[in-house]
Amino acid sequence: MNSLFLLYVATFSLGLFSLGTLVYATEPRAISDQLVDVPRRGLAIYLWTIVGLNALVWLRGIFPTIGAAEPSAALEGLGLTTNPSWVQDLAFWLPMAAIAAAWLWLRKPWGYVLVGAWLVYTLIESVGVGVDQLYGYAADPTTEHATPAGAAIFGILAFVSLVPAYFYFRSRRADSRLALDQKVHNGNG
């Protein structure tokens, strides 16, 4: 709880409602039919890797506290009784990404849609955590929870996440590119 609490709630809500809008307003077959040359397996492996590494980092902090006399020791210095990021990631975001990757691997239309959304989310999240690390360090240079090194790591992760996003978003059929070029050329796009 801090002065940005309502902003945190609003951004989480925006993420959920954006996902709901995506599901409601998207015809997944139309998207999957356009992405015939997307590197499905490479993107699925990338997502599973991100999910696995993220889960390991969170579980590394959680497992030692299970059954401990002071279970909130992992949150010491944060002023929290539970970590909302652990809850959101482990209950929703990471399982959704793992399922999206499996659907993409299996050529399920929703896999194409959700992996594209996840790639954008990962980029935004990496930038956001990097900025959070910088501001946290600026506010309290003695904290171990926010460091310039943490900001640099997430800056690198943001840059790395551009690579799979590039391969996903460049994977449109040639005839759809031609139709778009013609639409733009004719002033309709």
Per-residue pLDDT tens over the stretch 9-53? 888 888 888 888 888 888 888 888 888 889 999 999 999 999 999
pLDDT tens for residues 109-130? 999 999 999 999 899 989 999 9
The pLDDT confidence band at residue 189, using thresholds 50, 70 and 90, is low
pLDDT tens for residues 159-186? 999 999 999 998 866 455 555 556 656 6
What's the confidence (pLDDT) of residue 179?
Answer: 56
What's the confidence (pLDDT) of residue 163?
Answer: 95
pLDDT tens for residues 78-92? 776 777 788 888 888
Distance CA 29, CA 34 (A): 9
Q: H helices within the chain, ranges in order?
A: 5-25, 28-34, 40-62, 84-88, 94-105, 109-139, 148-169, 174-185
Neighbours of 102 (CB within 10 A): 14
What's the confidence (pLDDT) of residue 62?
Answer: 82
What's the confidence (pLDDT) of residue 55?
Answer: 94
CB of 58 closer than 8 Å to CB of 90: yes
Token couple for 64:
């030692």
pTM of the entire predicted model: 0.76
CB of 21 closer than 8 Å to CB of 86: no
Percent of residues, the chain, with pLDDT higher than 70? 87
* Between 75 and 121, residue with greater pLDDT: 121
Cα torsion angle, 25, 170, 115, 60, sign: negative
Closest CA to 127 of 157, 149, 97: 157
Token couple for 112:
């194409």
What's the confidence (pLDDT) of residue 26?
Answer: 83
